Amino acid sequence: MLTIDPKNTPTRDMHQYLLGSVAPRPIAFASTVDADGNANIAPYSFFNAFSSNPPILVFSANRRVVDNTTKDTLSNIEATREVVINVVNHSIVRQMAVASIQFDTGVSEFAKSGLTPIASEVVKPFRIKESPVQMECKVKDIITLGDQGGAGHLIICHVVRMHIDENAIDNGRINPHKLDLVGRMGRAYYTRASGDSIFTVVQPVTKISIGVDALPESVRNSRVLSGNDLGILGGLEALPTADEIAKIKESDMVQALILSCGDDATALRTRLHHYAKSEIGKGNKELAMKVLVLSDSV
């Protein structure tokens, strides 16, 4: 295990350790205007949502590590207290990359990236037409975290209007496969939030589960089950009853395993654990639990 002491680590290295570890991060494609109405867009991956009532987004416009300078986004927000946060999906990720280039002040990133500015309804900064979600914001606060290269400025944004591509909505909810967002990793790495990379974790949080600590010791220490398998089982609300265990013992599958192992209890326990793992993979966690509790008695 590599241990990092920030006090003894060069900022450029600490920056990369953080960005590589806290990932993937959503990207705020921030659109601003200066006091004269000149438009600017720039992407920021120190970004997330922090409240839904009121709706609050926070992103950080960091000082550049190399020369301790700040981007036009920060000075524009300081002047106007307004910003539009546009999300980045896969179809515009390379145009976003062009907008991240350090063009001189006054150069239009809209023109350089080929993206289209469209008028907002409540704030002065333009929205990015090609972005599937655009959030018009009033800036509530700017919190400065330091004055050296790499220091952030937390920009707290109150969403006053939100625009969502209707093609990305199913039954009143956003379909992540259709939104096709892109997340930032460390260095030049990105990730695409669609297809096989999206999975569900359904775990009721208002019902009390048994927890992993309630599983039999032989199950907790299983060489077959993974930590995720144990987490799924620990999320159940109750252990199976004695009648349920007796019934599962008489099932054709379990009887076939018992017969195949003869008097070898260790082999039987291992096969039961493999059977349970297979059932967990199919979503049959209650059945798997019954098999595992049974295995503890063989």
Query: Along the 298 residues of the chain, how does pLDDT read in single tens digits?
Result: 999 999 999 999 999 999 999 999 999 999 999 999 999 999 999 999 999 999 999 999 998 988 988 889 999 999 999 999 999 999 999 999 999 999 998 899 999 999 999 999 999 999 999 999 999 999 999 999 999 999 999 999 999 999 999 999 999 999 999 999 999 999 999 999 999 999 888 888 888 999 999 999 999 999 999 999 999 999 999 999 999 999 999 999 999 999 999 999 999 999 999 999 999 999 999 999 999 999 988 8
d(CA 110, CA 39): 8
CB-based contact 88:181 (threshold 8 Å): yes
Taking only the tens place, the pLDDT of each residue in 3-15 is: 999 999 999 999 9
Q: What is the DSSP letter of 253?
A: H
Are 216 and 198 contacting, i.e. CB atoms less than 8 angstroms apart?
A: no
Question: From its phi and psi, is residue 239 left (phi > 0), alpha (psi between -120 and 50) or beta?
Answer: beta
CA pair distance 95, 129, nearest whole angstrom: 13
Residue 154 has a pLDDT of 98
Give the helix/strand (H/E) hosting 92.
Answer: none
- Provide the pLDDT for residue 1: 94
137 vs 122: CA distance, rounded Å: 8
CATH among 2.30.110.10, 2.60.40.10, 3.30.70.360, 3.40.50.1980 for 6-197 = 2.30.110.10
Task: Please state whether the predicted TM-score (pTM) of the whole model is above 0.75.
Answer: yes
Per-residue pLDDT at 110: 97
What is the pLDDT, as a whole number, of residue 297? 87
- Strand (E) positions, the chain? 28-33, 39-44, 47-52, 55-60, 82-86, 117-118, 127-128, 133-144, 153-164, 169-170, 173-174, 181-184, 190-193
Alpha-carbon distance 234 to 148, whole Å?
Answer: 46
Give pLDDT, residue 69. 84
The rounded distance, in Å, linking the Cα atoms of 145 and 164 is 32
> Which tokens go with 145?
């975290």
Q: What is the pLDDT of residues 57-109, one digit of tens each?
A: 999 999 898 898 888 999 999 999 999 999 999 999 999 999 999 999 889 99
Structural domain boundaries in the chain: 6-197, 212-295
